[in-house]
Structures are given as structure tokens and as C-alpha cells.
Amino acid sequence: MNRDTTPIDTILPPRRPSRSGSGRTLGLPTDLLQRARRRAEVLGILGLGGFLLGFVGGIVAGDPGLETERVKLAFNLSGAVCSSILWIAARWSRISVGMLIDIALAVEFVLALQISLYAAWYLYESSGGRVLPYITWVEVIVILFPLMLPMPPRRALLGAILAGSTRPGAVIALDAFGAIAVGSDQVVLSFVSPTIAVLISFVCARMVYGLGIEVERARRMGSYHLVARLGLGGMGEVWRARHRMLARPAAIKLIRNEAPDGTPMDRSGSVRARFEQEAQATASLRSPHTVELYDFGVTDDGTFYYVMELLDGYDLNRLVKEFGPVPPERAIHFLRQLTHSLGEAHDRGLVHRDIKPANLVTCRYGSDVDFLKVLDFGLVKAKNRIERGDPELTVGEIAGGTPGFMAPEQFLGNRPPDGRTDLYAAGCVGYWLLTGRMVFEGETPMDIMVQHAKTPPVPPSERTEQDVPPDLEAVLLSCLEKEPERRPADAAELRRRLEACAAAGAWTEERARRWWEAHAPAAVDG
């Protein structure tokens, strides 16, 4: 019944894409890059914790008179310093993810060098000059870093080679300075495990980076790139997006090519044809209170998508839930803007059929505030157009809508929906704005629909503590008439009735701006 419980509602401006320090992008989705930042932070914390634990343990249990213990303390302290550098860099937002990767590779090399020198010398001294390590934490670090931090395979390979070479390099250097004495066979053996680790590291880097590139390519919708998912609903998803060449941000709604139960929605191409027809009609709407449609299309896998303007504000569902019912004059302000959008659409033969608070966003629009935008115009009709005799339509498709805001004729099927169907929903929206409650409430959607069909609504003034002007209450109750003939004839008539209310015009621009300054300061900046 509910076509989508998460429309384009609380949409925020896009974040600045992550770049490398030199301005080179890593070619990965922004959310994966941000995840790499969090993983770098985890690596830094783990290293810092491990080395500090070793340092404290050395102080508590070690003998400071022994040279090996003093070296062990110095090793753990220097390792903690390197790990803290990585942690601080990951926490510092001014350092781009690309630069963070470079810092991580430098930390990887320094840690590997310290471990290689310490492990070779310490084990040699502890064993009386008989044993060198076959494997150390260097190999773990070489493999772990590209697994945790997605990066181009060549960069990962370079970092792995440099880090892995510290094992034989440390053995050769210590032998040259007389700290240890080893044969050529032990030098050769010191190459084995680092070489294996480097190969594994390169394979891991290619896999991790390749998966990221595949995600990046999959997220390209024509000229747009999906940045971050904003919501997930019954029939699709909403993503924050950006144009690959223009600076304009956007919101993209993806419409799945199958129903929620997994059955295909389009076997004959009729759904696609309706989608294209309705998208073209929606794009022709010019009311400033209708969300602007930039583009639409169908991906290779059959997913429909809309590209729309990105809004900064609150949907009316969230608005009332967070801040409580609005005063009558503000409710009139919202409903008048709604009728402006509906009036043009109805004149073009479009019926929204899913007007509800979650599909209405009050936002900052240029220099205006409390500017209402109507979302998802025509989507329901695009997929569920009622055409008598169409064998492809199911009962569920005919009854498209949201139970709490559906006119009786939508689910009774006794007459085709028209503009007055949307006006009934507008009355439900006004009721919600004034009371914070739906007109009818029930345990199941069927309970609610039965009440819409048979039960007279309780006047909103009896379900709220604030004063509801009688003239506004009369307008809303006229919209909630069971018979369409008894409702306002069209959106223009509803707008005239709202403008005739005594409270109309009392919600001034100054009051609206004060509200936004108090509850959304960033929204009125500039």
C-alpha cells in the first residue's frame, strides 16, 4: 500500500568529495574513502594500544639494567609515536584521504623498519647468537595495510616492497655494523617470508581496490555519480548525487525493476513506457512548488531513476514530530503552496495520489524560507495508472497510496481518482499539521481504510490543545468529505477558501525566518 516510506525528505547538501593531497582522486566512491579514514584511525589506535601495552609491561616486569630491556622500551615507545601519528592524521579532517594514504604508507615503512631491526637484534641476543626470526610482525603489517586501506595497487605494491625489504635490509645492516654475525644462508632466508607477504599484499590490494572501482562504476547514472544513500523504501532508494561536470548537486531516486515480493514489474515494457510518459509530464510542470526534475532514465539492469533538485529542509512528517503541531496560520501557508503545485498538475491531467507529509518538504529555496516543495509527482501514477481492462494491473497496484492519507475512492475502486482525490489527502495533511495526529488511526491499514470510507472525522479542534479557527476547520472538513462531489471542486477553489480564512497571511516572512534561524541556522545563511 505504502509506495515508499522514505522519499526524498531530509536531504542535505553534499559533502566535499575526498581527494588526495596532490589533487589526484583515488577513483573510489566517497563513502568508501570515508570508511578508509575510519579504518586508518582504527589501525592507529590498535598500534598505539599494542605498543603502549608493551612499553608499560617492559617497565613493570623488565630489568632496566639490561641492554635488551632498554632497547625494548625504546622500540615500544617509538612504535607508539608512529601509531599516534597515523591516528592523529586520520582524525584531522583537513588531511584528505589521499594524503592520509601516503602518511599510512610512510608509517607502514617506519614501523616495519623498527620491527625488523628490533626483532633481528633482540632474538639474536636472546638466543646467544644462534637464531634469527623466520617471520615477524612485518609480514602482518605488509598484508594488513592494503586490506584495511583501499588504494591503487601500484601504490600498495610500492609500499609493500619498501616495508618488506626492511627484513633483509635490517639483517644486512646489523651484520655490517657488527651488531650480529650471520651467514649468507640466513640473509637469503630473510627474503622468503617478506616476499610471500608482498605478493599476498598485492593480490589483496587489487581485490579491495577493484571492488571499490566496480562500486564506483555501478553508481554512475548517466552524467551523475551517486555519493551517499539518503533513504531506503519499499520500491526504491534515494541517493545524494553530483553531476560529473557541473557543480550542481542533485538527488536521485532509484525505482527497482521488481516488486517488494521479488516479482518482476515489467515483462512487456508497459511499465517502462508509462514511466517515460509520466517523467516527461512531470518535467513539464513549472510550478515552483513542484520538485524540479532534471533527468530520468533506465539503467542496463532495468532500474528506473529520477534526477531531482536537492532540497535543504524538513519534510512535514519530520517537522511535526520534532517540533510539534504548527500554528493555524503556518498550516494555511503550507496548504496554499500545496494547492499551487496541485493546481497546475491537475490541469495537465496528473493526479499525485500519494500526497502525505513525508512527500512535502519545507525548505530554504534561494533567499526564501518555509518554501514548500511537492515530491514524487506522478511516480505512483507512472507505475499504477488505472486503465480499465488492463490485465497487467493488480489490486495492489490500483490501490496505490498511503492508508492514513488515502481518499475512499482510492481503495474502494468505485470511481477513478481525480484531482479531488489529492484534495482529500491535502485535508489529511492539514489535520496532521494542526494536531500531530492522522485523521484516522488503527491497528492495521485495513482498519484505517474502513474508517476513511465510513467514519465521520473528529474535528481537529477536539484533538489538539491549540485553538483551531472555525473557518479553517470547516475548510479541512470539507476536504475530508467521503463523496468527491462535496469536496472543493479543484485546487483553485481550495486555495480561495484558505485565503478567505482570518488567519491567512498571519504567517509572515519575518516569522518564518525567525523560526528557521532558531531551528536550522545553517539554512538561512546568506
**Selection from 19, 53, 7 nearest residue 375 by Cα:** 7
pLDDT for 191-237, tens place per residue? 999 999 999 999 988 888 777 766 665 566 667 777 777 877 656 78
Mean pLDDT of the chain: 81
Q: Which residue has the cell 468529505?
A: 481
Taking residues 434-439, report their average pLDDT: 97
Distance of alpha carbon 524 from alpha carbon 264, whole angstroms: 45
Distance of alpha carbon 144 from alpha carbon 167, whole angstroms: 17
**pLDDT band, residue 244 (cuts 50/70/90):** confident
354 is catalytic: yes
Q: Is the pLDDT of residue 65 over 70?
A: no
pLDDT for 308-361, tens place per residue? 899 989 999 999 999 999 999 999 999 999 999 999 999 988 899 889 999 999
**Helix (H) or strand (E) segment spanning residue 230:** strand 224-232
| pLDDT given at position 526 | 37
- Provide, rounded to the nearest whole percent, the portion of the chain with pLDDT above 90: 41
The CA–CA distances, whole Å, from 466 to 30, 431, 511 equal: 46, 13, 18
| pLDDT given at position 378 | 52
Cα dihedral 386, 390, 394, 397, rounded to 10, equals: -20
pLDDT for 73-101, tens place per residue? 888 899 899 999 999 998 888 888 888 88
Q: Is the pLDDT of residue 463 over 90?
A: yes
Count of CB atoms within 10 A of residue 354's CB? 27
Q: Is the pLDDT of residue 399 over 90?
A: no
Q: Is the pLDDT of residue 475 over 90?
A: yes
Cα dihedral 100, 101, 107, 110, rounded to 10, equals: -140
Distance of alpha carbon 98 from alpha carbon 21, whole angstroms: 6
**pLDDT band, residue 149 (cuts 50/70/90):** confident
**Helix (H) or strand (E) segment spanning residue 254:** strand 249-255
Distance of alpha carbon 519 from alpha carbon 526, whole angstroms: 16
pLDDT for 362-392, tens place per residue? 999 988 999 999 987 654 453 344 343 333 3
Distance of alpha carbon 248 from alpha carbon 140, whole angstroms: 44
| pLDDT given at position 521 | 53
Q: Are 222 and 246 in contact (CB under 8 A)?
A: no
Q: Spot the catalytic one: 9, 315, 354, 376.
A: 354
| pLDDT given at position 395 | 33
**Selection from 56, 230, 70, 38 nearest residue 149 by Cα:** 38
Distance of alpha carbon 197 from alpha carbon 426, whole angstroms: 65
Distance of alpha carbon 250 from alpha carbon 101, whole angstroms: 29
| pLDDT given at position 257 | 61
Taking residues 48-61, report their average pLDDT: 84
Distant-in-sequence contacts of 512-515, Cβ < 8 A, 24+ apart: 512/330, 512/333, 512/369, 512/370, 513/369, 515/369, 515/370
